[in-house]
Amino acid sequence: MSNINPIEDWEFNVLDIYNFRKKGKLVKYFDFIKKYHNKINGDICEVGVYRGFSIISTALLLRELGSDKLVYGYDSFSGFPTYHQYDDLSFFDSLLDKDYIDPEHYRKFKLNLEYKNLLHEKKTLPSNISTSGDFSSTSKEFLENKIKLFGLNNIVLVDGDYASTMNDYEYPDLTFMAVLMDCDLYESHKIALPFTWQRLSKKGYMFLDEYFSLKFPGARYAIDNFFNQKKQKPKMHKKIPLDFERWYVRK
């Protein structure tokens, strides 16, 4: 096994992993882990792993911190499953009508869709609106081999659809201090939110990657409906050095 430990930005780019050493879209997520890894009980959970862009960086950080926490990564490693009606891009119209998003959010969605339509030869759909397509260009074997390159032994990959893997049986005593929610679609959020929230420790942190999405309307709908009856509500991070909203919730 290797023991790759990237330092410079170009190394992270070549290795196709998030650079946790500089400020980016996940800076608050990584800052939380740095600050509370030895103060809040539980491991880390990532819902939607794909090719390991953020889960490997999380594991590298934990190794650097000398933490014995594990990172659990949930993914089917076979791309998007079936799509719910709330994943259709037209559902952004309903989100605006129902005040789930504001006019500025809707304007950016429409502009993003216009750009995508100009670039695509086919109609823009949930399956191709992302630069990663339907996220099928990965496999558990690919990611396991990538993890070995870094010499990491603190990642647990949970392979399968969420309806089967997010249960009380395989890992009955799981608790999480932090969750990276990056599963895009409505049904995925509907399953993953109660599973991870129940296991999130008090004062734990959940990063909602698709809450301000210009691509997947079902994520916003599922998240707001889930937290509608809860005391805790999604909040927007301030002073992130990007022109894109980043949202989270603390338990």
- For the cut 90, the answer to whether the pLDDT of residue 59 exceeds it is yes
Task: Give the pLDDT score at 238.
Answer: 87
Write the single-letter amino acid at 96.
L
Provide the whole-model pTM.
0.95
Q: CATH for 24-250? A: 3.40.50.150
Task: Give the pLDDT score at 241.
Answer: 63
- Residues 6+ positions from 128 with CB-CB distance below 8 Å: 120, 122, 134
Phi, psi of 95 (to 5 degrees): -60, -40
67 burial class (0-12, 13-18, 19+ CB within 10 angstroms)? middle
**Tokens standing for residue 7:** 């330092």
Q: Where are the domains of the chain?
A: 24-250
- For the cut 80, the answer to whether the pLDDT of residue 240 exceeds it is no
Q: Which residue has the tokens 């960086």?
A: 57
| CA within 13 Å, CB half, 250 | 9
Average pLDDT along the chain: 94
Buried b (16+ CB within 10 A) or exposed e, 1-19: eeeeebeeeeebeebebbb
- Residues 6+ positions from 251 with CB-CB distance below 8 Å: 197, 200, 201, 202, 203, 204, 205, 206, 232
Q: List pLDDT tens digits, range 136-194.
A: 888 999 999 999 999 999 999 999 999 999 998 889 999 999 999 999 999 999 999 99
